[in-house]
Amino acid sequence: MNRQRRQKSDHLYLVLGALFITALIVCNLIANKFVSVDLGFKTFVLSAGVLPYPITFLITDVLSEIYGRKKTNRVVLTGFLALLFTLFILWLGAQFESIEGSPVNDELYEIVYGNSWRVIAASSLAYLVAQLIDVRLFHFWKKLTNSKHLWLRNNASTIVSQLVDTTLVVGVLFIGVKSNETIVSYIADGWSFKVLVALADTPFLYLFTWMIRKRLKLKFGQEAT
């Protein structure tokens, strides 16, 4: 790869990594709000953090396809460190009393972010395990199919890893807090919603990887080294 293509490749890797980490942190900051999403055939009860979370798996699939397992895992681990740093910043903000007239006082800050340590702790554990499983399974299917059937490795890896992620997050957050029936319902809704999004984003995965390969002048199945 010549110097110009290397610069394009490195810049794109940085952009994808930044989008991944941004989506990851935002997911955790809005995770305390639960919403209902009506798709017509079913109404899903979800944490608001679930809505942008599938974006992170789409990005890791793009990274895995273009940059390989090692560089993708590097982004995943960087995201994990970013989550821990976010947790520290939220804790630091709580150590200082709000001034009179502050738009966000201590009580409101506690309501919005007081449970964030538990959310981020649960999410960090689930995220790290699920993302590493996703990357590993993606490359397992890629090797098994000789870099063919992108749709298969995209969906097969995401379906399994999202089940792990959803189960761990909901379990850590709600075991002993909610009934078993409610917990199972949260897991089922969260996972099935993520699976639907994973299936829906498959055409975008093909589009993005095609555009990137064209820009970097890579052959099908070739990785940017």
Helix/strand/coil percent split, the chain, to 5: 75, 5, 20
Most confident of 4-18, 44-58, 115-129: 4-18
The phi and psi torsions of 36 (rounded to 5 degrees) equal -110, 135
More confident residue, 71 or 152: 71
Compute the distance between CA of residue 95 and CA of residue 89 in angstroms, rounded to an integer.
10
User: What does pTM read for this prediction?
Assistant: 0.81
From 10-14, 73-77, 129-133, 206-210, the region with the lowest mean pLDDT: 129-133
Compute the distance between CA of residue 192 and CA of residue 187 in angstroms, rounded to an integer.
8
In this predicted structure, what is the pLDDT of residue 55?
Answer: 84
Compute the distance between CA of residue 87 and CA of residue 118 in angstroms, rounded to an integer.
10
Of 26, 25, 2, the residue nearest 78 (C-alpha): 25
The sign of the dihedral angle between the CA atoms of 47, 86, 124, 206 is positive
Cross-strand partners of 35 = 46
3-216 CATH fold: Arp2/3 complex 21 kDa subunit ARPC3 (1.10.1760)
Place of tokens 């942008």: 52
Confidence of residue 21 (pLDDT cuts 50, 70, 90): very high
Name the residue ranges covered by the structural domains of the chain.
3-216
Whole-Å CA distances, 152 to 127, 140, 165, 191, 209:
22, 11, 20, 18, 15
What's the pLDDT tens digit per position in 46-76?
888 888 877 888 898 899 889 988 898 899 8
Element (H, E) at 166: helix 150-174
In this predicted structure, what is the pLDDT of residue 14?
Answer: 94
